Structures are given as C-alpha cells and as structure tokens.
Structure 1
Amino acid sequence: MRQVALVTGSSRGIGLAAAQALAQAGFGVAINGPVEDDELHGAIGQMQALGAPVMAVAFDVSDVASHAENLALIEERLGPLTTLVNNAGVGVLQRGDLLDVTEASWDRCLAVNARALFFLSQAFARRLLARERNADLFYSIVNVTSSNATAVAVQRAEYCASKAAAAMVSKAFAVRLGSENIAVYDVQPGLVATDMTAPVIETYRRRAADGLTLLPRVGTPEDMGRVIAVLASGGLPYTTGQVISADAGMLVPRF
C-alpha cells in the first residue's frame, strides 16, 4: 500500500517541486491548482513522466465548502490519503506602506494563506480519524508558511500576518493530532526563486551574496521540495510540531 498526497498550489513553483519529490519517493500525488488550465495540465504531464500515480484536482482552496468533496475524489482515484501538503498561497495585491494596506489585500491573504489551510487540514484530519489507518504508513500534514511568519517585511504586512497565523495553525494541529500519530510540520522558506518573488529576486540574490543568508545564495523550489518530501516520508522520526527554517540560516540571530 502506497502513501498518497494532496499538494495544494502544485501546478508550479514550490508545490510542483514538492509533488515531483514525493512522486520520486513513491507517493501517489494529487496535483492542485485553482482552475483546470494549461498550467495544471502541464504539471500533470511532467508528473506522468516520473511514472507515479497522479491526478489533477482543480479547486480553489479558499472555497472551504469544496474541501470534503475533493478529498473524497482523490481517495476514489488514488487511494486513501496519508499526506496533506498545504502549499497554496498568495502574496499582497501591492507592496507598500502598511498604512495603505487595503481590506481586499488583507482578506485575500488571510483567506488563502491561513483560513483555507486551517479548514483543509481540518477536513483531512477528520477523514483520517474516521477510518482505520495502516500502521506501516506515515501520516502527516506539511504546511508551507514563510520566514515572514517570524520576520517582518513591512511592505507586505498582511502577508506576514497571514503566515504567522498559519504557523500557529501548524502548532495547534500538531498538538491535536499527536496522540493520533499524525505528524504536523511548518516549513518556512526564506529567499526562494519563484514566480511570486520574481520581481525582487535579483535584490534577494545580492543580499544573499552580501551575507543576509549564511549560505550565500537564494533557494530553489527543488530545495524546498526535497525538504517537504523528507518530512512527508517520515525522514525525521519522533518529531512533530517543528518549524523547519528552510532559509539558509537567514534568521539565525547574530551580532
């Protein structure tokens, strides 16, 4: 019996890299995007080349009412879920002074980055607890938050607030699900080259080279994917509730 994962926001970037790493580790993988489009189909094509069981499941994670239905669909096609990777996320509508943050940008960040993560985790956990689980498989929730759950970026305060909320959700689920042998992790990427960071990535590269990160480079989606796959595979036994700072040492306190 194989492990089966849903990776949200996995038609590109960190999510796609995580899905690929999980497939290489032998998982069946459900690839998610908000809509069924060329990007989602392209991701499926890349995944099929790896030879793993894979399916597309198009739904907007902020539509909480659709969660249970889509989890059931995945299990019908791929088998019982063992793993949820909450990767889907959005940035701010416009970087700038927090005194100019709009309700629309605040609500969007919180709806996707925190509210959706909470309720999809809830729906996933309910499914696991309602059935007998295989003692030979590893069950987990891996949340992808951000270094901004801890470190302030004042030009995108609403994003920071949403990621801080998601980090606390991770801790809460770890406490609730520990007795059920379901591990929960919070992966906090630092400077990673993705579509979201593309407008500022060259600045990030310079700052990394100048010492902002202890390892003098920006990260890649593949770096994050490997971290996520190790966690989801049970590669860090006897752990749960951990924050994994995948940030090249950026947040290490120093003088």
Structure 2
Amino acid sequence: MGKLDGRVVIVTGAARGQGEQEARLFAAEGARVVVADVLDDRGEALAKEIGARYVHLDVGREEDWRAAVTATKDAYGQLDGLVNNAGILRFNSLLDTPVDEFMQVVRVNQVGCFLGIKAVAPEMSDGGTIVNTSSCTGLTGMAAVGAYAASKHAVVGLTRVAALELAGRGIRVNAVCPGAVDTAMSNPASPDPDADPEQTAKGLDRLYRKLVPLGRAGRPEEVARLALFLTSQDSSYITGQPFVIDGGWLAGVSVI
C-alpha cells in the first residue's frame, strides 16, 4: 500500500530538481501524477519513465492552468492534489533589480501559486491537498534575492488564506520552505543543469558549510519527502502552516 494510492496529483516545475523528485516519489507511493512544466522534452521523458502524464504548463498563464486541469480530469476523472513547485530565482541587489526582472519572479513564484489554487481548488475532490513551495527566505530576509524573498513571503500569505477558505471542504493547504537545496536553480556556483551532479553538490556543500548547522545543502529528495508528508494522510490535521526544511539555518547563529 502506497501513501498516495488512488490519488491524482499535479506537480508543477516537475521536469527537474525538487519537482522531479516529488513526481518520482509520489508515483512510487501510488499516485497518478501529472508532470507539468515548460521544459517539454525533459518533462515528457520523465512522465514516460514513471508512468505519468505530461502537460505543458506556464504557471503564469491562466489559460495554461485551465488546460492542465481539463487534461488531468479527462485522463483520470478526478483531481486530489497539487504541488505548486515551479519557481525561479534571480540574484541581484534590490537597488539594481530592474522592474521587469522583479515582475518576472513575481509572475512565476507568486502569481503562479495563486493561479494554481484558483484553477485547481474548484475542481479538486473534497479532502484534497495543496502544497505550495515557499522558501526559508519567505520567513526571513536575505541579501541579493529581494524579488525572490518578496514573492516567497507572499506564498506563505496565500497559503494561510487558502487554508482558511478551503477548510470547509476538508482541503488542506500548507507550504514547504526549503533552505539551500542542491538544484540547478539555487546553485550560483554551477547554473548549468547538465553539470556533473556530484561535483555541483560538493560545490554547494562547500558554499554553505559555515552557514548551515548540518554542514551541507539539502537534497531535492529530502524536500520531496516533506511534500509527500503534507500530501498524505500522515498530515491529516495540519493546514495553513509553513514547514522549514533548511538544515537548521534559521535556528540561530552559532558562536562555537
């Protein structure tokens, strides 16, 4: 028996990184997964590998969301879960951030979550789940990622409001708040998604060794396990909450 047997879940940004690991884990736990992304080749290959369905989805386009929901219900007849994972990160000082760059980040990270909730919740089975991807920077500040931090703070607010408004249908809405995680998006030392994963992981670990109490960056599969918990019945009495997964980064400052 899998933790998600019989459930149908859309995972956005699922072609690589955290989304890919979430899609793989959810499928292994019995879910019928809809892999949603703009990276069509990668997304289609993953869907074929894990026995899922692929849909092209630009999360900032409302019409794409409508099409994704329709395709999901046409294929599986129901919709039980959503993981709003798609996101982008831009490194820039706040005063040097062009308005277009700021709005691009907001469109994907913040508006994408809003549109996902808006499109999926009306078609979702009662008792469904929504997991939004925020960040530890959605709970604190961090220099050089102003647009990202602003959008991720907004995701936490959206999560809380959606949890309140959807609770009457038993739909639970929570947020995962990762710290430094070894993905192509978050590794400024190696932005090439085709780079050797072992080497990029070592590079990211060196970068964060002094910042993270556990001494390393997180792994996408670790975030996926948290998303699984929040999507399964293991978290049946939890809603409206941000869950930090950051190796202890936000715990405080060590003087030892």
* Structure 2 length-normalised TM: 0.87
Aligned residue for 2:72?
A: 74
In the TM superposition, what whole-angstrom CA distance separates every residue of 1:214-242 from its partner, at most 9, and x where no partner exists?
32221111111111111111212211111
Aligned residue for 1:120?
A: 116
Q: What amino acid is aligned across from residue 206 of structure 1 in structure 2?
A: R
The alpha carbon displacement at 1:68 in A equals 1.9
**How many residue pairs end up in the alignment?**
239
Residue 9, structure 1, aligned to residue 13, structure 2? yes
Match of 2:44 among 41, 45, 53: 41
CA RMSD of aligned residues (A): 1.8
In structure 2, how many angstroms separate the alpha carbons of the residues matched to 1:68 and 1:194? 29
Aligned residue for 2:29?
A: 25
In structure 1, how many angstroms separate the alpha carbons of the residues matched to 2:105 and 2:206? 28
Q: What amino acid is aligned across from residue 209 of structure 1 in structure 2?
A: R
In structure 2, how many angstroms separate the alpha carbons of the residues matched to 1:46 and 1:199? 29
Structure 2 residues not aligned, in runs of 5+ = 190-199
Aligned pairs for 1:138-149 within 5 A: 138-149=127-138
Structure 1 residues not aligned, in runs of 5+ = 49-53
Q: What amino acid is aligned across from residue 28 of structure 2 in structure 1?
A: Q
From the superposition, tell whether residues 167 and 203 of structure 1 become closer, same or farther in structure 2 (CA, over 3 Å).
farther
Aligned residue for 2:193?
A: none
Q: Is the 8 A contact 1:187 1:246 kept in 2?
A: yes
In structure 2, how many angstroms separate the alpha carbons of the residues matched to 1:229 and 1:40? 20
Aligned residue for 2:175?
A: 186
Q: Is the 8 A contact 2:15 2:39 kept in 1?
A: no
In structure 2, how many angstroms separate the alpha carbons of the residues matched to 1:217 and 1:35? 28
Secondary structure in 1 matching 2:36: strand
In structure 2, how many angstroms separate the alpha carbons of the residues matched to 1:70 and 1:96? 33
Identity %: 28
From the superposition, tell whether residues 77 and 7 of structure 1 become closer, same or farther in structure 2 (CA, over 3 Å).
same
Residue 239, structure 1, aligned to residue 238, structure 2? yes
The alpha carbon displacement at 1:96 in A equals 2.8
Q: Is the 8 A contact 1:215 1:248 kept in 2?
A: yes
Residue 88, structure 1, aligned to residue 91, structure 2? no
In the TM superposition, what whole-angstrom CA distance separates every residue of 1:158-185 from its partner, at most 9, and x where no partner exists?
1111111111111110111112111111
In the TM superposition, what whole-angstrom CA distance separates every residue of 1:100-123 from its partner, at most 9, and x where no partner exists?
110111110111100121121111
Aligned residue for 2:158?
A: 169
The alpha carbon displacement at 1:139 in A equals 1.2
In structure 2, how many angstroms separate the alpha carbons of the residues matched to 1:160 and 1:203? 23
Q: Is the 8 A contact 1:35 1:59 kept in 2?
A: no
Aligned pairs for 1:53-64 within 5 A: 54-64=52-62
In structure 2, how many angstroms separate the alpha carbons of the residues matched to 1:142 and 1:61? 15
* Structure 1 length-normalised TM: 0.88
The alpha carbon displacement at 1:151 in A equals 2.3
Q: What amino acid is aligned across from residue 192 of structure 1 in structure 2?
A: V
Q: Is the 8 A contact 1:84 1:124 kept in 2?
A: yes
In structure 2, how many angstroms separate the alpha carbons of the residues matched to 1:178 and 1:186? 15
Deviant stretches of 4+, over 4 Å? 201-204
In structure 1, how many angstroms separate the alpha carbons of the residues matched to 2:92 and 2:86? 23
Secondary structure in 1 matching 2:9: strand
The alpha carbon displacement at 1:35 in A equals 4.8
